[in-house]
Amino acid sequence: MNFASIRIITADIKPLVRFYEQITGLPSIQYTEDFAELRTPSFVVAIGSTRTLALFGGTHLATPRSNHSIILEFRVDDVDAEYHKLAEQLGNNIVQIPTTMPWGNRSMLFRDPDGNLVNFFTPATSGVKEKAD
């Protein structure tokens, strides 16, 4: 089994797709006005409007802007450079500036337009770098 994607359900798809294009530098593939994907080398970030929930059985299945437990994590080459590139755009949505964590990653944490937590991290210590390669 391989982890393939994560799907974010949103009430307003266009700003969320634009946001993820901007922070990742990846183009989206917009299959319909209600569904888009951004493909990273290891997994897909899918973004679907609330209208797509009808295909799964109803809008009661997911509530946009209500995530309180998932963090989307992206490994980047240089988290400090990403912070300097995105700080102005992210503004008050930055939760944590780049910080070296006890487990060896250097991480920055911020929120997307729907309030979902996003972590950009870079392995920072030699043991973590070796394990990540």
Q: Is the pTM of this model over 0.85?
A: yes
**100-123: average pLDDT:** 97
Instruction: Indicate the helix (H) or strand (E) that contains 18.
Output: helix 13-24
Name the residue with higher pLDDT: 124 or 125. 124
Predicted confidence at residue 129, as pLDDT, reads 63
**65-94: average pLDDT:** 97
Other CB atoms closer than 10 Å to residue 78's CB: what's the count? 13
Q: What is the pLDDT of residues 99-111, one digit of tens each?
A: 999 999 999 999 9
Nearest partner of 33 among 50, 55, 49, judged by Cα: 49
Q: What is the pLDDT of residues 51-72, one digit of tens each?
A: 999 999 999 999 999 999 999 9
**Total length of the chain:** 133
Domains of the chain: residue spans and CATH = 1-62 (3.30.720.120), 70-133 (3.10.180.10)
Q: What is the pLDDT of residues 19-53, one digit of tens each?
A: 999 999 999 999 999 999 999 999 999 999 999 99
Predicted confidence at residue 125, as pLDDT, reads 79
Q: What is the dihedral of CA 15, 12, 98, 73, to 10 degrees?
A: -110
Strand 35-39: give its sheet, edge to edge. 5-10, 44-49, 35-39, 28-32
